[in-house]
Amino acid sequence: MSAASPLALRIEPGRILAWLLLFGGGLLMVTPLAFMFATSLKDSSEIYDLAFFPAHPTLGNYVTVLSDGRFLRWFANSFGIATAVTLSNVFFDSLVGYTLAKFQFRGRYLVFIAILSTLMIPTEMLVIPWYVMAKNFGWLDSYWGIMFPGMMTAFGTFLMKQFFETVPNDFLEAARIDGLNEFAIFWRIALPLVTPALSALAIFTFLSNWTAFIWPLIVTTSKELYTLPVGLTSFAVESQVQWELIMTGAALATLPTLTVFLLLQRYIVRGVVLAGLKG
Amino acid sequence: MRGLRGMLLGLMVSVGAIAGAKAQTVEIEYWQYVFDARVKAMNELIKRFEAANPNIKVKQTTFPYADYQTKIAAAMPAGQGPDVVQLFYGWLDNFVSAKFIQPLPRDAFPPAAIEKDFYPIVSAMKRDGEYYALPTAVRSLALFYNKKLFQEAGLDPNTPPKTVDELLDFAKKTTKRDGAGNMLSAGITLDFPGQDYHWWRETLLRQNGGAPYSDDNKTVTYNSEAGAKSLNWYADLQRTHKVGQVGFMDEGQAAFRAGRAAMTIDGSFRLGAFGGIKAFEWGVAELPASADGKKANFASYWVNAITTKPTGPKLEAAKKFLAFVTTPEAMQLWLETVGELPARKEAAETEKNLNHPIYGPFLKALNYSHATVFVDEMAQRQVSLDMINRVLLQNQDAKAALDEAAKAEQPILDRFYKK
Amino acid sequence: MNASSSRVDARSGARLSPGLSMRQKQVLWAWSFLAVPVLFYAVVRFYPTLEAFWIATTNWNLLTKPSFIGLANFKRLMADPVFWQVFRNTALYLLLGTPISLLLAFTIAYHLDRVRFLHGFIRALYFLPFLTTAAAMAWVWRWFYQPVPIGLFNNLLAGIGIAQQPFLRSTTQSLPAVLAPAIWAGLGFQVVIFMAGLRAIPTTYYEAARIDGVSNGTILRRITLPLLKPTIVFLVVFSSIGFLRIFDQVYNMTSQTSSDPGGPLNATKPLVLMIYQTAFSSFDMGYAAAQTVVLFLVLLVVSLLQLRLLKDR
């Protein structure tokens, strides 16, 4: 806020106009979401009249969509996969970041550059070899098949390294003198000092896995293993373009992240900024 | 000595076989694409089959149509996937050449019996004297019309159009627009990637005296005078008469189901989905004939085949299952659940079925239907889709569009027939 | 362990040796921490990268053994009119998407930064779309673009007396129509990053400028933008890469039951969708891999170029 204050002392008409425009623009931004939710509450006879609010709001669509249980399954899949991948990233990325930041050994720079260089390789280039690998190892159509490419990321490693570099060495030395082993120093001393970075990494990783589309689409064949975005796509097709049901499915896919955001807004925005700027 | 040993061996083998059969249930996997009514029908068939064969379990797996072939092609080389698979008849050659499916074992499916009992279009499943697949049901096209919209337009709700001229006339009368000229309700749905591309190719084109391919199927022949005439007639529904609009309500079937289209051309497989319509009554009619009374229709079917995966007891189970889903009993169930017509003549052409107000028009059409021989249905469909898009979106001349389509499709045929 | 080693050290009389052994232990620890990750990066990142280049030089449909065909896939690509169309589309996604979204995001961030009334709420409004699933929202937008009577946009147009637009059913409008939700979804992220960048500029600069009586416009050009350069560089590179890899929106807005993915007439098809179709619909793995190599080169060139251009100025 402080940066804004010198210019924001006086209230001018221009500033009120700017505020109104900003506010209007913000409302415009959430219009698609608003329409999605509003339509999900309409019954099929109502979706063609354009009144925003449903005349007879009903949860019938939600009952229809949820009743066969697949959505819940996809929801659980997405949640489980995103959680597992996030935990793996939080652990390994910080372990590697910590090692590269705080240990002196030959090959350190090489490892760092090698990991960093993978940032230049687009995922799409690896999709075909991953697919072949998954096929050879029998990982096609399995949870592990969906998860394995993302278990560690160069982005997360780089982010964590940046943060561990700000941790004073004295802290670690003191722990060493106390006789803690190196893993305990990492786990009990260093890690708690970078919790903001950890939560930033966790938020970013979870979000990108929650919305991931192309790889789960390729690697899964069984409906039971679909993630929410892939399941939603297949659901939209099956519904034979019944918009009220598609909107309900889309709303269900969107609801969890929006709820979490509204509860933890400040942390999430801060985390995203942190991950974006430092990573 | 030798005889005794042989007997002993035989005894051991048969004891082993019986023990083996008793000890374990065989599970086979069945794949088809997602279409609500088909999945329901197949679930019912599986239930009956498992009741009759307690030691065989059938697991059904389904995928959206858009991904279906991809999923099969992904699973088969990995040694996964179905034991019995449903495929569109147009994909047969791709599946055979990729070694996804094996010839139907002659002991369970003698070719002579197939040819005697099934509709002749099934012969398209024969390669080098071997049948590779059998349909449960066949489909043809018909005109669905919304009786309520007919009535509102002052038309008799029980007299559907009999000729293409009448069709156009009725479409004009039933189209509704708002003050600005935006379509509110279509006279007829225009959905080329739906069923219209079959309607144009096998009906309109032939009614104008053309043919889509040469008799040996190796050459594209639709880039003709008749081709241009029929394509222009179709495109004019939107361009000139404005009685339909590509993309209206996203899909033709969606428009019809929402009561926003007076007529749509669709297959018998849509009966299940339209069966749920409560807001209005609808009727079915044979596809309109040309002005000089020429009739033509498009027949297509999905077939079931045994993949190259099962061997031994699984193969035996697969054979039993395939035989079961092609019995007259299974066909009647399929007709009643999905609305697709029995592939066996005697099961189809019962008095009751022929006089049925809904099944009748579809069944009658089977006698003047053509089944297009596709070599790569997806690619060929894309070619015709691009063709109509060039005409309707870019105002390309019909003849030029046909020539361009032929130029794109001929290499697809060449590549296949050269092999 | 510690005790025994120091006893050995003491006997040999070397004063520095406890430190040395400590360092050796450190090295051991370091490599034991790195063992699994190094294996992971080797198997899941580096080997596949090399394999992608190798597959690109083969003819392979997954069923038979790949056969080496040299650069034939690349030659085929150069001669494929669809590829050039796709290349043009991908470039358009980038050249429209990046400037439009950055300009919007900066304008919003610049003004939002000075707003205090309901600041958090307005920021949340802009940020919310970033948290949505592209596959889900693509269907919402697809619905908006429908013709009258169901499409929102066309109903609005009709309401104010403008002819309805074909949007997704047009060869010229469909690409921007698909791009819009991608810009929409990414905007919030860019806004918060820009705001963080703006906050990082020391207030003393502004105060000095104020005292000198410099106009707002000059402050923006002379102080804000130059100091914001690292943020701009980051966002340009980040969003460019995003637009070059667009897929989810296109796949969900143009494909499915009866329409054609990347259509009509390939008007919306980006490189990643072409790769997806070549690899996982046609199973033409070699040809698809060659396309991924092109994508890799494009991304490399674009990011290097941008880093260079923006760093030098």
Reported as a single tens digit per residue, the pLDDT across B109-133 is 999 999 888 887 788 888 888 999 9
Lowest mean pLDDT among B17-26, B374-383, C44-53, C234-243: B17-26
Q: Phi first, then psi: what are they for B118, rounded to 5°? A: -95, 165
DSSP class of residue B262?
E
**pLDDT at position C34, please?**
95
Q: Do B247 and C168 touch (CB under 8 A)?
A: yes
The alpha carbon dihedral of B237, B241, B245, B251 has a sign of negative
- Helix (H) / strand (E) containing A126: helix A123-137
CA dihedral angle for residue C286, residue C287, residue C292, residue C298, rounded to 10 degrees: 140
CA B206, CA B233: separation in Å to the nearest integer? 13
Nearest residue of C to residue A119 by CA position? C45
> Looking at residues C72-84, what average pLDDT do you find?
94
CA distance A61 to chain B (A): 16
> Looking at residues A184-191, what average pLDDT do you find?
92
Among B176, B291, B198, CA closest to B242: B176
Nearest Cβ partner of B74 from A45, A140, A234?
A140
Q: Do A140 and B80 touch (CB under 8 A)?
A: yes
Residue range C254-304, pLDDT digits in tens: 875 556 788 789 999 999 999 998 898 778 899 999 999 999 999 999 888
Neighbours of chain B (3+ CB pairs under 8 A): A, C
- Given a cut of 50, is residue C168 above it in pLDDT? yes
ipTM above 0.95, yes or no: no
CA distance B73 to chain C (A): 8
CA distance A129 to chain B (A): 14
CA B292, CA A168: separation in Å to the nearest integer? 93
Q: Do A234 and B250 touch (CB under 8 A)?
A: no
- pLDDT band, very low/low/confident/very high, at B275 (cuts 50, 70, 90): confident
Residue count of chain C: 313
- Given a cut of 90, is residue A251 above it in pLDDT? yes
Pinpoint the alpha helices (H) of chain C: 2-12, 17-40, 47-55, 72-78, 81-112, 119-127, 134-144, 152-159, 174-199, 203-211, 216-219, 225-227, 229-244, 248-254, 271-280, 285-312
- pLDDT band, very low/low/confident/very high, at C7 (cuts 50, 70, 90): very low
Q: Do B389 and C283 touch (CB under 8 A)?
A: no
**Residues above pLDDT 90, as percent of chain C:** 55
B/e letters for C140-149, b = 16+ CB within 10 Å, e = fewer, are bbbbbbbbbb
Q: Do B70 and C257 touch (CB under 8 A)?
A: no
C228 at interface of A, judged by CB pairs closer than 8 A? no
Q: Which two tokens stand for residue A216?
A: 């789960």
Cβ atoms within 10 Å, residue B395 = 10
CA distance A202 to chain B (A): 33
Q: Which two tokens stand for residue B159?
A: 């007299």
Q: Do B80 and A141 touch (CB under 8 A)?
A: yes
Residue range C138-154, pLDDT digits in tens: 999 999 998 888 888 99
- Given a cut of 90, is residue A127 above it in pLDDT? yes
Q: Do C51 and A132 touch (CB under 8 A)?
A: yes
Among B271, B247, B348, B328, CA closest to B35: B271
Cβ atoms within 10 Å, residue A195 = 11
Q: Which two tokens stand for residue B306?
A: 């045994």
**pLDDT at position B88, please?**
87
More confident position, B66 or B411: B411
- pLDDT band, very low/low/confident/very high, at B45 (cuts 50, 70, 90): very high
CA B241, CA B254: separation in Å to the nearest integer? 22
Cα dist from A16 to A12, A21, C112, C114, C123, whole Å: 7, 9, 12, 11, 17
> Looking at residues B385-399, what average pLDDT do you find?
93
Residue range C171-227, pLDDT digits in tens: 999 999 999 999 999 999 999 999 999 988 888 888 888 888 888 888 888 889 988
**pLDDT at position B48, please?**
94
Q: Phi first, then psi: what are they for C162, rounded to 5°? A: -100, 145
Instruction: List residues of C whose CB lies inside 8 A of any B CB.
Output: 62-63, 142, 146-150, 154, 158, 161, 163-164, 166, 168-171, 255-261, 263-265, 280-281, 283
CA distance A217 to chain B (A): 9
Which chain B residues are within 8 Å of A48, Cβ to Cβ? 258, 260
CA B137, CA B331: separation in Å to the nearest integer? 6
Measure CA C128 to chain center: 18
- Given a cut of 50, is residue C119 above it in pLDDT? yes
> Looking at residues B223-248, what average pLDDT do you find?
94
Which chain A residues are within 8 Å of C122, Cβ to Cβ? 22-23, 26
> Looking at residues C82-98, what average pLDDT do you find?
96
**pLDDT at position C14, please?**
41
Q: Do C292 and A48 touch (CB under 8 A)?
A: no
B251 at interface of A, judged by CB pairs closer than 8 A? yes
Q: Which residue of C76, C145, C258, C285 is the best one to mutate when testing the B interface, meaning the one whose CB has the most B CBs within 10 A?
A: C258
Residue range A31-55, pLDDT digits in tens: 999 999 999 999 877 877 777 888 8
Nearest residue of C to residue B74 by CA position? C280
Which chain B residues are within 8 Å of A128, Cβ to Cβ? none
Average model confidence (pLDDT) across chain B:
88
Q: What type of residue sits at position C242?
A: G
- Given a cut of 70, is residue A1 above it in pLDDT? no
- Given a cut of 60, is residue B178 above it in pLDDT? yes
- Given a cut of 70, is residue A149 above it in pLDDT? yes
**pLDDT at position C312, please?**
61
Which chain C residues are within 8 Å of A118, Cβ to Cβ? 41, 45-46, 49
- Residue A67 burial by Cβ neighbours in a 10 Å radius (0-12, 13-18, 19+): exposed
**pLDDT at position A108, please?**
92
Residue range B73-112, pLDDT digits in tens: 878 877 888 999 999 887 888 888 888 999 999 999 999 9
Average model confidence (pLDDT) across chain A:
88
Q: Do B191 and C170 touch (CB under 8 A)?
A: no
CA distance C132 to chain B (A): 24
B371 at interface of A, judged by CB pairs closer than 8 A? no
Q: Which two tokens stand for residue B392?
A: 């309707």
> Looking at residues A238-253, what average pLDDT do you find?
86
Q: What type of residue sits at position A40?
A: S
Nearest residue of A to residue C24 by CA position? A105
Q: How many residue contacts between A and C have a Cβ separation below 8 Å?
A: 284
In sequence order, which residues have a C-beta less than 8 Å from that of residue A231 and are 6 or more positions away? A70, A71, A73, A74, A77, A223
Nearest Cβ partner of B71 from A135, A221, A240?
A221
**pLDDT at position A279, please?**
55
CA distance A86 to chain C (A): 15
Nearest residue of B to residue C257 by CA position? B66
Residue range B328-387, pLDDT digits in tens: 999 989 988 888 889 898 888 888 888 889 999 998 888 788 888 887 777 888 899 999
B/e letters for B269-292, b = 16+ CB within 10 Å, e = fewer, are bbbbbbeeeeebebbbbbbbbbee
